[in-house]
Amino acid sequence: MRGRIILFLISISILTPLHAADLITLRGRLFLPPDQPGRPIEVVLRQGKHVITRSAPDGENNYEFANLATGRYELAIKVGKQQTQVSVNLCCNPNTVSVVDVNLDRSSPTIAVSFPLEPSDVVDISELRHNYPEGILKEFEKARMDIRGGRIGRSADRLKQAVKSAPDFYSARALLGMVFHASGCYRDAELEYLRAYDLNPKSVQPMVNLGSLYIEAAGARLLDGRQYLDEAISILNKVIVMKPNSSLAYCLLGLAYFKKESYEAAEENLNKALEKVRSPAAAHLMMANVYMKQKKWLAAIDQINIYLRENPFSPDRGKIKSVRKEITAYLKTSG
């Protein structure tokens, strides 16, 4: 999991004109290696083989494309002669913003960490009291299958229709919040998580995910002046009161404090997460990041070793081993 400047971009758009209220803005930031100053950068937005629009990012590597319809797109980031492709599913509600940051910097010693979203409750007893139309329930199950199959846009369409037909359908709202969240539709996700919580205040799932959302939003270019990390900490502390054994809530608290550069508080909460029976594997990597910031190099290596031992098939092993190698080399040269 899942952390997220006000210069505007000049872009050439060849979209078919639509009503402004029906359109979405795609916005994000490119994180580039520090050794690439002066190289020409271009961001191209395609749909299939069709180029929709293209732009050069601003001086802080922010890009923005307005007046986009929902659908699946490809972002092509060209840095000099190198090109990176990123798939984007625009499924936000009309007149909102989707945030998609792209990290091309592989030089940072910090390990990239993402925590999973809290899964939907297996069975929500309160849902059984509702007599939802059979068609709505079928659409909900199809939406779940679409998510498993990577058909995010189709899943969002089904869930939007479900909550329109059954506004008090908690599970549909909680799942729609997760779909919006994964697609960078932060404001839409926030509303769905809050609506889900209002429908079922005993469930911590939407609040845990809301805390995760706020941490991501703190690094995004939402331009609304909100203190998202403080909001995340407040929400996650409430979650822990409701569910003291939530290792994910403690992990996210650790991440929020890390981003606030409150490393002792981050360490304290991550230790509480690791004390739980089931803690996310990424908690060890997050703790390694904290120790690196505190220059506790041997402790950082210990956490990395634990993660590598417990996750032998992790796709990020190469990057993590290279960070361990850098730390070991630094310790040798520093005596």
Tens-place pLDDT, residues 81-104: 889 999 999 999 999 999 999 988
- Span 130-159, average pLDDT: 91
Between 249 and 15, the more confident residue is 249
Return d(Cα 68, Cα 16) in angstroms, integer: 9
Which residue stretches of the chain are H helix? 134-148, 152-165, 170-182, 186-199, 205-218, 228-242, 247-259, 263-275, 282-293, 297-310, 317-334
Return d(Cα 225, Cα 227) in angstroms, integer: 7
Residue 120: per-residue pLDDT? 59
Average pLDDT across the chain, whole number: 87
pTM of the prediction?
A: 0.86
Return d(Cα 19, Cα 136) in angstroms, integer: 29
**In this model, does residue 118 exceed pLDDT 70?**
no
The yes or no reply on domain 11-103 and CATH 2.60.40.10 is yes
Q: Please name which of 222, 225, 10 lies closest in space to residue 99, comparing C-alpha atoms.
A: 222
**In this model, does residue 114 exceed pLDDT 90?**
no
- Span 156-178, average pLDDT: 95
**In this model, does residue 15 exceed pLDDT 70?**
no
Q: What are residue 102's DSSP bridge partners?
A: 30
DSSP secondary structure string for all residues of 251-296: HHHHHHHHHTT-HHHHHHHHHHHHHSSS--THHHHHHHHHHHHTT-
- Span 243-257, average pLDDT: 95
**In this model, does residue 10 exceed pLDDT 50?**
no
Q: Please name which of 155, 31, 11 lies closest in space to residue 100, comparing C-alpha atoms.
A: 31
Return d(Cα 80, Cα 97) in angstroms, integer: 28
Residue 280: per-residue pLDDT? 87
Residue 7: per-residue pLDDT? 29
**In this model, does residue 135 exceed pLDDT 60?**
yes
Residue 13: per-residue pLDDT? 33
